[in-house]
Chain A
Amino acid sequence: MTANGTPMIDVRDIHKFFGNVTALSGVSMNVHAGEVMCLLGDNGAGKSTLIKTLSGVHKPDKGEYYVEGKHVDFDSPRDALNHGIATVYQDLAMIPLMSISRNFFLGSEPTRGRWLFKRFDVKFADKVAREELKRMGIDIRDPSQPVGTLSGGERQSVAIARAVHFGAKVLILDEPTAALGVKQAGVVLRYIAQARARGIAVVFITHNPHHAYAVGDRFTILKRGQSFGTFTKEELSREEMVRMMSGADELDALTHELSMNNEQ
């Protein structure tokens, strides 16, 4: 339940309302450097609202937000980025037809030449992208190949490596394994573990307890916009995690429905 030192990010009693809909109700969580904190919850639990709050997209209606012990009030995602908080969204914000290195430096392109001759420094970008990806253990064939030719897992890994390269101290990953196969999900989980080994605080959002359990140090359960506690692996089994996330009624109804289908 506890970890030592000042957390990299610490949110306390966060509330977020959209009209009369309560998206988040008194959620508290924190993550330390070199730690993977998993945010678990079913659809509609409030995971996306919470990460958007953490990454500066939404302003909380109530509650406090601290980064490295200092109170912050983000007006935009740029503010969060300036504090070293990088978010990798499900859609990855990548352009499939652009090369890996162009995507790697998207928005922060290295250039060479002056005035009218100023242009994207392809050689430098290729070199850095290749080196950074190699540091994360990703061996790409050619950094000039389009991102669209990479598998889902590789694309996630490029997005993670990009965030790390640009100085992320906190990495927020929005369901990075959601649309991946078993092997590809394994690749992404390995990079999450590598980011942790580099001292980065990782917030890993998922609804897959198997993925969470493989890399997570602590687990916060979200349900209906509420947090039901933060647990270590010793305090919470995988089965309990599933049960807490989905509830007995829903699981029992599904089991019943499936058994009925089998009988027919």
Chain B
Amino acid sequence: MADLNPWQIYDLLNRPKPLWLAGCNLYGAYLKGADLSGADLREANLGQANLSNANLEGANLAGANLEGANLEGVEAEKVNLQGASLVNATLTRATLRSAVLNAANLTGATLYEANLRDAHLTAADLTNANLGEASLLRTVLKEAILNGADFTGANLHGANLFAADLEGAIFTNAHLRGAMKPNGDIYE
């Protein structure tokens, strides 16, 4: 469990922003709707935490552990999740516009209806992730591992799939026109 009790977390969230929580252990913490915009959460442990509808805009979560975390409806524009672990995390309807998720592990994550417009997911692992109905407009998925990922109904217009591993990926009703294929050509 988290190193902090609920009262300490409550006190922390009401301190002047942005918060400095680098390396903090917040495992399983209840942070629903919390304002963590611009917070420094590098290498923090947020495994199984409830961050649904939280504000993570511009926060730095590079290398953080978010395994099994609930990030449903989170507002996380320009968030830095480089190298973060989001295995089996729930990111349904999350706003991750212009976010950096390079080398992040999103194996089995649910990104249903998530907004990943202009996000960078270079070399991210999205094996078996659910990206159904997600907006991936101009998303960079260069060298991403997309084995078994479900893109049903997703919008990938202008997305960059250069050198991505698409084996077993599902693109039923996905909008791929104008996206870059793994070999550098464009989907017509």
Interface residues on B, range: 20 to 34
Q: Are B158 and A248 in contact (CB under 8 A)?
A: no
Question: Does B160 sit at the interface, judged by CB under 8 A?
Answer: yes
The chain B residue sitting closest to A246, CB to CB, is B184
Interface of B is mostly: loop
Shortest C-beta distance, B139 to chain A (Å), equals 9
Given contacts A2-B100, A229-B140, A243-B184, contact A25 B122 (CB under 8 A): no
Question: Does A244 sit at the interface, judged by CB under 8 A?
Answer: yes
Q: Are B100 and A229 in contact (CB under 8 A)?
A: no
Question: Does A1 sit at the interface, judged by CB under 8 A?
Answer: yes
Residues of B within 8 A of A249 (CB): 183, 185
Q: How many CB-defined contacts (below 8 Å) exist between A and B?
A: 62
The chain B residue sitting closest to A252, CB to CB, is B183
Shortest C-beta distance, B149 to chain A (Å), equals 19
Q: Are A244 and B120 in contact (CB under 8 A)?
A: no
Tell me how many residues of A have a C-beta within 8 Å of chain B: 24
Interface of A is mostly: mixed
Q: Are A248 and B140 in contact (CB under 8 A)?
A: no
Q: Are A226 and B178 in contact (CB under 8 A)?
A: yes
Question: Does B151 sit at the interface, judged by CB under 8 A?
Answer: no
Question: Does B180 sit at the interface, judged by CB under 8 A?
Answer: yes
Q: Are B140 and A228 in contact (CB under 8 A)?
A: yes
**Chain B 121-146 interface mask (CB, 8 Å, partner A; 1/0):** 01000000000000001101010000
Q: Are B138 and A226 in contact (CB under 8 A)?
A: yes
Residues of B within 8 A of A231 (CB): 122, 142
Question: Does A235 sit at the interface, judged by CB under 8 A?
Answer: yes
The chain A residue sitting closest to B178, CB to CB, is A226
Q: Could you list 22 A-B pairs, sorted by A, with CB under 8 Å?
A: A1-B100, A1-B102, A25-B178, A221-B160, A223-B186, A228-B140, A228-B158, A228-B160, A228-B180, A229-B120, A229-B138, A231-B122, A231-B142, A235-B122, A236-B142, A243-B162, A244-B184, A245-B184, A247-B184, A247-B185, A248-B181, A251-B184
Q: Which residues of A contact B (CB under 8 A)?
A: 1-2, 25-26, 28, 221, 223-224, 226-229, 231, 235-236, 240, 243-249, 251
